[in-house]
Amino acid sequence: MDPISGINIKKDSTFAMLLAAQKKDWEIYYMAMNDLFIHEQRAKSNTSIISVDDNKTNWYKFHQQLTISLADLDVILMRIDPPFNMEYIYCTYILELAQSEGAIIINDPAGLRDVNEKVFINYFPKCIAPTLVSKNQQHLIEFIGNHDHVILKPLDGMGGKSVFKSSHNDPNLNVIIETLTFDHSRFIMAQEYIPEISEGDKRILLINGLPVEYALARIPMAGESRGNLAAGGTGKGVELTARDQWICEQVGPTLAKKGLIFVGLDVIGDYLTEINVTSPTCIRELDAIYNIDIGTQLMDVIEKNILPR
């Protein structure tokens, strides 16, 4: 996971998972990306045995530091936040080596590499609004010209960072495209703007392909087009609609087959906009609103369906 010393436990889904694992009396080993390494053809890590407490001033304690082979662990949860860069990919290689030695990795390293959180929605064309992935200025300008408003965003970000709402008559359009594509050297995504964003960008959590019964609608601040909580959005609990359920039925089985056990779908109005596989969030918010325990739901699935008996 990312450094535990810097998390906000009120909102951190990895912390919810730690609490749930501890409740089962599992021994928990904490690792950051910098702790992983390969030595003598084995995946290893510097690690600390850790305990956690739902206490905003003192939420973790290290008990023992040691170096282990990753395959000695029963299950490893990969919860590093984007950016999804080469360092992230190298990390998946180390985890995949551990997997070849018998470790269970959630989410699966190959699945993390295969399922780009922005691009993969294109495998489900009936679920999405008009979308273009390109680095070509002319392609992007033509697509934008065919829609009143569009959303432009990079393929490797999170939390609403560098997401722009624009249109064909935006005087800053060319510079937005140049900036996002790094002068036409990187792919970006353009999506038709979905006005229902005013009702919230819904985060739907899937556990082994099946949805949690409630979603968190992240409602943008006044004057904003981004609902991300990191961009100032406000979370509101909502029940899944029939369309939400249908989208989950289309997407969930494919993700589960790829070993993507914990996934966050982003749905605006009737459309799937992103598939979050690296470190999906909103557990703590939904738990607080509905008095549920999504972390324990996940650990139960790992215990009953994923771990060998």
Residues 186 and 211 grouped into a single domain: no
Q: 203 catalytic, yes or no? A: yes
Q: What is the pLDDT of residues 135-182, one digit of tens each?
A: 999 999 999 999 999 999 999 877 778 899 999 999 999 999 999 999
Whole-number Cα distances in Å, 121 to 29, 130, 267? 34, 11, 11
Q: Which of 155, 174, 192 is the last residue of a domain?
A: 192
pLDDT at 222: 77
Instruction: Give the CATH number, domain containing residue 280.
Output: 3.30.470.20
* 309 among known catalytic residues: no
Is 56 labeled as catalytic in the residue annotation?
Answer: no
| Domain assignment present for 46 | yes
Look at residue 233 in the predicted model and tell me its pLDDT: 80
Q: Are residues 172 and 252 in the same domain?
A: no
Among residues 125, 27, 14, the alpha carbon closest in space to that of 74 is found at 27
Q: Does residue 34 lie in a domain region?
A: yes
Question: What is the distance between the alpha carbons of residues 247 and 270, in angstroms, rounded to a whole number?
Answer: 9
DSSP character for 226?
Answer: -
Give the pLDDT score at 159: 75
Instruction: Judge whether residue 309 has pLDDT over 90.
Output: no
In CATH, what number is assigned to the domain containing residue 11? 3.40.50.20
Q: Helix, strand, coil proportions of the chain in percent (round to 5)?
A: 35, 30, 35
Whether 64 is in a domain gets the answer: yes
Number of domains in the chain: 3
**309 in any annotated domain:** no
Task: Let me know if 274 is a catalytic residue.
Answer: yes
Same domain for 155 and 99 = no
30: domain range?
Answer: 4-110
Chain centroid offset of residue 152 CA: 19
Same domain for 99 and 68? yes
Q: Rounded to two decimals, what is the model's pTM?
A: 0.94
Q: Is residue 308 part of a domain?
A: no
- What pLDDT score does 212 carry? 98
Q: Is the pLDDT of residue 231 over 80?
A: no
Q: How many residues does the chain have?
A: 309
Residue 218 is among the residues annotated as catalytic for this protein: yes
The one catalytic residue in 44, 79, 202, 226 is: 226
Residue 258, strand partner residues: none
266 is catalytic: yes
Cβ atoms < 10 Å from Cβ of 86: 8
- Residue 227 has a pLDDT of 67
Given 156, 201, 274, 285, the catalytic residue: 274
CA dihedral sign of residues 116, 187, 246, 204: positive
Note the pLDDT of residue 149: 96
Residue 277 falls within a domain, yes or no?
Answer: yes
Residues 160 and 200 in one domain: no
